[in-house]
Amino acid sequence: MLLIALLGVAIASPTPATAEERTILVLGDSISAAYGIEPEQGWVQLLQDRLDATAPEYSVVNASISGETTGGGLARLPGALERHEPEVVIVELGGNDGLRGYPIARIRSNLARMVELSQDAGARVLLVGMLIPPNYGQRYLEAFRDTFRDVAENAAVPLVPFLLDGIATDDGMMQEDGIHPEADAQPMLLENLWPELVRLLEAVDG
């Protein structure tokens, strides 16, 4: 059983999936693009490594770009869906929108549309939430946080509330910019996301 195999242990491939492969598409920003560290140290590659050992039929395509926004991700998603035909799409976007103070309604609309497009393409979606620093004001901070929950609930998709949970407040785990996690934090990122992903893979496995 896939769940047992996956829990017993935890990519990045630019090539389309073959008929024998099942693809996980990661659409993210610098957090998923391994900013400031070696690509093989990033959580996406750690995910591929774990799957290689437990469920080798899965191939992870890392379509993450540093600086990406929800608008940019939305523009790129249709092409990525057509090319890779993923079974699972992990959407890790919104942090840059929040840091730039973009309107909450725009962020919510873009996230909801990415979920919708992925579902229409036959993929299951895992939405990954983010938080922003408190200096943006309590109202914006709460609205930004709640956006991910609202989109997930409306679309009935699982949510990882905060990918950097247990990491962002630990200076030793963050790079000097205070935004990007160090290499040592990458396994924790994967563990924060792993339980929800396992449940999705179980559903795909049938």
Active site residues: 30, 177, 180
171 φ/ψ sector (left φ>0, alpha ψ -120 to 50, else beta): alpha
Q: Report the C-alpha gap between 179 and 143 in whole angstroms.
A: 20
- Structural element, H or E, at residue 44: helix 43-54
Kind and range of the H or E run holding 202 = helix 186-205
Element (H, E) at 124: strand 124-128
Q: How many residues are listed for the chain in this entry?
A: 206
First vs last Cα of the chain: how many Å apart? Answer: 10
